[in-house]
Structure 1
Amino acid sequence: MYLKGYHIIGFIFTVILGTLLHFTYQLSGNNIIVGYFSAINESTWEHLKLLITPVIIFSIFEYFIYGKNINNFILLKALTMLLGMFVIVASFYTYTGILGNNYLPLDIGTFILGTFTTYYFSYRFIQKRFLYNKNINYIGLFIIAFVIFCMIYFTTNPPKIKLFLDPQTNTYGVQ
């Protein structure tokens, strides 16, 4: 399959699995292990897990299919995941700042936009050999490990800032 096809499949996979991850914590009976990788509340941070988890899972699949032959594959996946996270946060706070409230269709739109950004730039960067260096993947592994650490740590120990605030309950983290 061509590179473009894998990125289209990755986009679809991430949108579907990310949507399901919105509900898995509650469906699991509030299992904390499930909560580390899925949304435990309605905070912006917890919704970033809906992008992060499927992107990492699909990137592992891609790595074994074709990524191990691309010198910068892991770094590019890490950077484009961060870019998608940024797009979600920036677009969410921009539109809610303008409109004064959040709306479910626009929330879904920010997730889809972040997912599209992740896979579009991954495709373009791989295609253009951006940051093409054999030893640069260690930086990507560090970024991914750090993001996973943050997902786990901030589930139970969130900073008391708006990014981590559940606007429905006015609480932070696991309750």
Structure 2
Amino acid sequence: MFLKVNIQIFISSIILLLVGSLLHFAYDFFNNNFIVGLFTPINESVWEHLKLAFFPILFWWIVFYWRKNKRYNLKRNKWFLGCLVSIITSIIIILGGHYFMKFGLNIHSVLIDIILFYIAIFTGQYAGYHVYNFSEFSKIDNIYFPVVAIGVIIIVFIILTISPLKLPVFEDPKTNTYGIYKK
């Protein structure tokens, strides 16, 4: 069972890495379509690149639940808590790793960012699976907490794509602009 789970986490991580990599180019491919830009990076800011992890992870956990729920009798509340943990873990690793490399070690490398992205996805998937398998979800024994938290994250991504704060995490380092309207 342990080997099967680790293979599943590895395969899902590879798929998420590939999907995230393809999404990197979606906004340009679809001629800067506003709707596409809400869910894919619109510029080279660190914030926008978090979408490369967030939306594919969310989609994977939802589709897996939808397709495999009956076969594995998945516990909905724990499943979506695992999803939330996977998302948050990945985001923290991407942000923390990027800024540690940039400011702590003065390293600016696309290759390092790609490796960091994979580490974040893999670690997030493993953490989410671990929470699903081993959490005692009796204190918040409903689906509302993870679903509301994920919904809030989606809303925050949309709002901060349209109207980002004037902080370095939101700034496109190539154009020195912010957000979808390039202010």
TM norm structure 1: 0.91
CA drift at 1:68: 6.3
Q: Which moved more, 1:104-113 or 1:14-23?
A: 104-113
Q: Percent identity?
A: 32
Q: Unaligned stretches of 5+ in structure 1?
A: none
Q: Which moved more, 1:70-79 or 1:54-63?
A: 70-79
Q: Which amino acid aligns with 2:157?
A: M
Contact kept, 8 Å, 1:19 with 1:50, in 2: the verdict is yes
Contact kept, 8 Å, 2:81 with 2:132, in 1: the verdict is no
Q: Deviations over 1:65-117 (max 9, x none)?
A: 13762241111211221111001000000011133352111111121111011
After the TM superposition, which residues 49-128 of structure 1 pair with which residues of structure 2 at under 5 Å, given as runs?
49-64=51-66, 65-66=68-69, 69-70=74-75, 71-128=77-134
**1:25 lines up with 2:27 in the alignment:** yes
CA drift at 1:154: 1.0
Contact kept, 8 Å, 2:81 with 2:128, in 1: the verdict is no
In structure 1, distance between residues paired with 2:11 and 2:160: 30
**1:132 lines up with 2:137 in the alignment:** yes
Alignment-derived partner of residue 15 in structure 1:
17
In structure 1, distance between residues paired with 2:35 and 2:161: 10
| Aligned residue-pair number | 174
Contact kept, 8 Å, 1:85 with 1:114, in 2: the verdict is yes
After the TM superposition, which residues 148-167 of structure 1 pair with which residues of structure 2 at under 5 Å, given as runs?
148-167=154-173
CA shift in 2, pair 1:115/1:10, >3 Å: same
In structure 1, distance between residues paired with 2:51 and 2:91: 9
Q: Which amino acid aligns with 2:102?
A: T
TM norm structure 2: 0.87
Q: Which moved more, 1:89-98 or 1:69-78?
A: 69-78
Contact kept, 8 Å, 1:4 with 1:123, in 2: the verdict is no
Q: Deviations over 1:111-147 (max 9, x none)?
A: 111101111111222222x142373321100111011
Which of 144, 147, 154 aligns to 2:150? It is: 144
After superposition, the CA RMSD in angstroms is 1.9
In structure 2, distance between residues paired with 1:23 and 1:154: 19
